Amino acid sequence: MTLPTRRVVVLGLALTVGPAPAQQPTPRHATPLTIDVLDVGQGDAILIRSPEEKTALIDAGPSRHVVELLKARGITTLDLVVVSHHHADHYGGMAAVIREFRPRFFLASNSSHTTRHYLGLLELVRDRGIQAIGPTDRPRRIELGSVLGRTGGPAGDRAGARPADHRGQALSFGRGAGAGQGDRPEAAGGDPADGHGGVSHARTCH
């Protein structure tokens, strides 16, 4: 997907860790949650910054150009990077991101689809000692400060319904922002029943 313009969504609504009791008001933060959809041309790169200044990058576009975009936004470290699926327009800039920002966590699916280029990225993650996390049999909760994320099941895929090269990582933040299951537009979106909504709607898949 080509994103001809950069879209920025700034969200001032509070997001809490865990469902808040219905009778208590939701606490508000001085700093809003921000989601930047970076203009990387082909593919995606979405920067999420929590009110506590925790940072996550979902996909890195096709090239190292994303590094300059992140620096221009004042990013010096990343807590989490995510590869939504194994297509180069989504991970092509990730090696440069890892070299530049050395993220704490690297999240990707275990899809068997690969290339020498993708193998090189995985080797970099291993060799740099980045903490890798992946899909498990049950959804995993990821706390990005007060922003809750949740991974989907194994490979983010439903019983092999998708071809191997489209298997990816299902990830949702709040109600809307997510790295989808490959190029699958209908896959993104959190569960409103979680009670930590507030994100209007943004997603990486297309």
Partner 1 sequence: MPIRLSIDRFEGDRKRIAVLLADDGTPINFPKALLPKGARADDGPTLQIERDAEATKRVADATKRVQDDLRKRDPEGDIKL
Binding interface with partner 1 (CB under 8 A): 54, 56, 79-80, 104-106, 110, 112, 114-116, 118-119, 122-123, 125-126, 131-134, 136, 140-145
**Rounded Cα gap, residues 104 and 99, in angstroms:** 12
Angle at 150 between CA 116 and CA 59, to 5 degrees: 35
Amino acid, res. 179: A
Q: Which is nearer to partner 1, 7 or 126 (CB)?
A: 126
Q: What is the smallest separation between the CB atom of 145 and partner 1, expressed in angstroms? A: 7
Give CA 13 to chain center in angstroms.
20
Q: Which is nearer to partner 1, 116 or 186 (CB)?
A: 116
- The b/e string for 8-46 (b: 16+ C-beta within 10 A; e otherwise) is ebebeebbbeeeeeeeeeeeebeebbbbbbbbbeebbbb
Sort residue 164 into left (φ over 0), alpha (ψ -120 to 50) or beta. Answer: alpha
Q: What is the smallest separation between the CB atom of 65 and partner 1, expressed in angstroms? A: 12
Q: What is the smallest separation between the CB atom of 155 and partner 1, expressed in angstroms? A: 11
Q: Which is nearer to partner 1, 101 or 106 (CB)?
A: 106
Neighbours of 153 (CB within 10 A): 15
Q: What is the smallest separation between the CB atom of 185 and partner 1, expressed in angstroms? A: 26
Q: Which is nearer to partner 1, 54 or 203 (CB)?
A: 54
Q: What is the smallest separation between the CB atom of 73 and partner 1, expressed in angstroms? A: 18
Q: Residue 197: name the closest of 4, 61, 62, 14 by CA.
A: 14
Q: Which is nearer to partner 1, 13 or 122 (CB)?
A: 122
